[in-house]
């Protein structure tokens, strides 16, 4: 079928459906009462001819194209924020742009790396080293050049909130595609204050999850048809009884504190992820966003009933749903939020100034990162440790050279990574003792005669392991001051009992010592 014939077929179908509506005693919503306003209505509330062709396959879905292209117009007149242009953000952005969302704001501070390409499908070899937001923008415009894209090459913090949530900007939905707990809580708090639905996804290893926060109290399906909105996302009507507590929960309602051991406590860069898993979750995030923006399928999907979708990639039944509780009356994140129409910029200013809502430091609340000793890229991700308890990778290299030249000297290298990662690459002579095993019986790996270097991938787990080994030595020898007066690098033969860890881990080893060492 040619494009012309297809367009005529779509027009005929629309006319037939509108005739059916009239036969029921209703006038199609969006039909101008004044014939003289036809031209104006065509420009503002009607799709262009090329839009019928582009979006026709989704418009002919029952309930999507009626009345008068309402759902497609809602998408075109919507503005969304996507935080993160990585594994989750890429598929979500692709499908939302392809579906016809009118304005998309992308926030991401990262640059494209080769290690991203197996799962971050908007980026390619030609954009390695470029900001992810610009790479994503370029790819999206190839998919749909009619989308208006705004990019911010920044991290979302309390300081940058006024930039992202500017006075002239209003978002109808926000997608959380990050893996940083502090950013997730900040985004949940501000969207709860603003009353914006927050679609939050996560994926690690072969598992994923999806939650929608800040859902309105009632479904658009329960509203009067005369109140339908053809100029933007589906109206969200408040409850007549308790519009706040009958609304959907925010992130703090479900997770009032950070989990130290659950999925949210780890990043895919640390534990790994299969590319299609983030693809599945990202696509589902796009689907849920379309449903929120248009109200499409709200009755069948129970869109406005809070739940968590869990995906297990290796299961024969990979999907299951868990019902969530409603908004909690004493939640610090949303209990004080009211459903009103104050200007967004005013609400953002109040949010930043309100010390009861905004943590002085979200990183401190989430207990991540800690203070940095410096901005050396080799040490990125490494936390500051005890004085004298940490050495650079070059010191380990010097110790290996000294031990090779002098048979009377020896050292021990403990690698705390999981066996799978140890099998990929390792420093010659190192011994694999996974962190959980070491912490279970640290006394089994203590030596009082051989200096011990502890290494991991990025220099975080190794600190925990080294601290556990030192505590055993101190307990045995009653020396509570051991290692505190040592100078970094004072290894061999000065203190054979010394246990140190490598700052920056194996990534630092690859950058400082052995450029042929694999970085993954």
Specify the pLDDT at position 359. Answer: 47
Specify the pLDDT at position 368. Answer: 46
Specify the pLDDT at position 31. Answer: 42
Specify the pLDDT at position 261. Answer: 46
State both tokens at 29.
Answer: 């919503």
Q: What distance in Å separates the CA atoms of residue 239 and residue 230, rounded to the nearest whole number?
A: 22
Respond yes or no: is residue 177 known to be catalytic.
no
Q: What distance in Å separates the CA atoms of residue 70 and residue 229, rounded to the nearest whole number?
A: 8
Specify the pLDDT at position 180. Answer: 86
Specify the pLDDT at position 40. Answer: 42
CB of 494 within 8 A of CB of 443? Answer: no
Specify the pLDDT at position 175. Answer: 98
Residue that is written with structure tokens 């610009």 in the block = 134
Specify the pLDDT at position 257. Answer: 73
> By CB neighbour count within 10 A (0-12 exposed, 13-18 middle, 19+ buried), where does 421 fall?
buried
Judging by DSSP bridges, how do beta strands 431-432 and 412-415 pair with one another? parallel
CB of 512 within 8 A of CB of 392? Answer: yes
Respond yes or no: is residue 456 known to be catalytic.
yes
State both tokens at 288.
Answer: 């849920």
For residues 19-31, b (16+ Cβ closer than 10 Å) or e, as one string?
Answer: eebeeeeeebbbe
The domain ranges of the chain are 70-366, 377-512
> By CB neighbour count within 10 A (0-12 exposed, 13-18 middle, 19+ buried), where does 86 fall?
buried
Specify the pLDDT at position 272. Answer: 82
H or E stretch at 319: strand 319-323
CB of 250 within 8 A of CB of 333? Answer: yes
H or E stretch at 104: strand 103-107
Specify the pLDDT at position 233. Answer: 55
State both tokens at 173.
Answer: 């939905």
Residues of the chain predicted below pLDDT 50 = 25-42, 219-231, 234-245, 261-263, 340, 355-360, 367-385, 387, 480-494
- Please write the tens of the pLDDT for every residue from 324-333: 877 888 887 7
**Among 268, 331, 337, 366, which one carries the catalytic annotation?**
268
Specify the pLDDT at position 271. Answer: 76
DSSP state of 203: E
Return the bridge partners of 308, or none.
211, 322
E strand map for 392-490: 412-415, 431-432, 452-455
pTM: 0.69
Specify the pLDDT at position 117. Answer: 95
E strand map for 191-230: 198-204, 207-213
> By CB neighbour count within 10 A (0-12 exposed, 13-18 middle, 19+ buried), where does 88 fall?
buried
Specify the pLDDT at position 218. Answer: 55
Specify the pLDDT at position 84. Answer: 97
3-state DSSP percent of the chain in helix, strand and coil, to 5: 40, 10, 45
Does CATH number 1.10.3720.10 belong to domain 70-366?
A: no
Specify the pLDDT at position 334. Answer: 80
Q: What distance in Å separates the CA atoms of residue 146 and residue 140, rounded to the nearest whole number?
A: 10
- Please write the tens of the pLDDT for every residue from 406-453: 888 889 999 999 998 999 899 999 999 999 999 999 999 988 778 999
State both tokens at 167.
Answer: 């006075």
The CATH number of 377-512, from 1.10.3720.10, 3.40.50.2300, 3.40.50.970, 3.40.250.10, is 3.40.250.10
């Amino acid at each position: 079928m040619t494009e012309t014939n297809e367009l005529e077929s779509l027009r005929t179908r629309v006319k037939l459906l509108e005739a059916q509506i009239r036969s029921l005693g209703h006038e199609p919503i969006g039909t101008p009462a004044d014939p003289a306003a036809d031209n104006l209505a065509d420009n503002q509330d009607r799709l262009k001819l090329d839009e019928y062709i582009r979006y026709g396959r989704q418009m002919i879905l029952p309930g999507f194209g009626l009345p008068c292209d309402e759902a497609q117009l809602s998408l075109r007149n919507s503005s969304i924020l996507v935080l993160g242009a990585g594994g989750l953000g890429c598929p979500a952005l692709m499908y939302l742009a392809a579906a016809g969302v009118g304005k998309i704001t992308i926030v991401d501070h990262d640059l494209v790396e080769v290690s991203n390409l197996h799962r971050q499908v908007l980026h390619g070899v030609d954009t390695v080293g470029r900001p992810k937001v610009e790479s994503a923008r370029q790819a999206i415009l190839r998919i749909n050049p009619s989308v208006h894209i705004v990019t911010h090459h920044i991290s979302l913090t309390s300081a940058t909130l006024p930039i992202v949530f500017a006075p002239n900007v209003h978002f109808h939905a926000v997608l959380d595609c990050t893996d940083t707990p502090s950013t997730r809580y900040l985004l949940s708090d501000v969207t709860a204050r603003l009353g914006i639905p927050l679609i939050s996804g996560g994926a690690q290893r072969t598992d994923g999850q999806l939650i929608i926060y800040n859902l309105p109290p009632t479904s658009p399906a329960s509203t009067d048809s005369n109140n339908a909105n053809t100029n933007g996302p589906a109206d969200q009507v408040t409850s007549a009884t308790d519009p706040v507590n009958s609304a959907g929960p925010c992130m703090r309602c479900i997770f009032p504190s950070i989990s130290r051991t659950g999925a949210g406590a780890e990043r895919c860069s640390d534990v790994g992820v299969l590319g299609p898993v983030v693809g599945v979750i990202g696509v589902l995030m796009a689907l849920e966003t379309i449903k929120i923006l248009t109200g499409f399928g709200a009755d069948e999907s129970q869109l406005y009933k809070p739940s968590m979708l869990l995906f297990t990639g290796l299961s024969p039944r990979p999907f299951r749903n868990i019902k969530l509780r409603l908004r909690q009356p004493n939640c610090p994140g949303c209990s004080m939020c009211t459903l009103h129409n104050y200007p967004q910029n005013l609400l953002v200013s109040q949010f930043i100034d309100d010390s009861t809502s905004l943590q002085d430091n979200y990183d401190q609340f989430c207990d991540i990162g800690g203070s940095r000793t410096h901005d050396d890229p080799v040490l990125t991700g490494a936390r500051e440790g005890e004085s004298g308890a940490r050495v650079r990778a070059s010191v380990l290299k010097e110790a290996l050279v000294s031990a090779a030249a002098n048979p009377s000297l020896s050292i021990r290298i403990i690698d705390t990574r999981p066996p799978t990662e140890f099998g990929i690459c390792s420093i010659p002579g190192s011994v694999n003792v996974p962190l959980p095993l070491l912490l279970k019986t640290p006394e089994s790996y203590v030596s009082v005669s051989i200096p011990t270097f502890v290494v991991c991938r990025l220099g975080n787990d190794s600190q925990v392991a080294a601290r556990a080994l030192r505590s055993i030595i101190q307990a045995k020898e009653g020396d509570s001051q051991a290692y505190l007066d040592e100078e970094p690098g004072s290894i061999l033969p000065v203190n054979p009992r010394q246990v140190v860890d490598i700052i920056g881990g194996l990534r630092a080893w690859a950058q400082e010592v052995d450029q042929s060492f694999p970085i993954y």
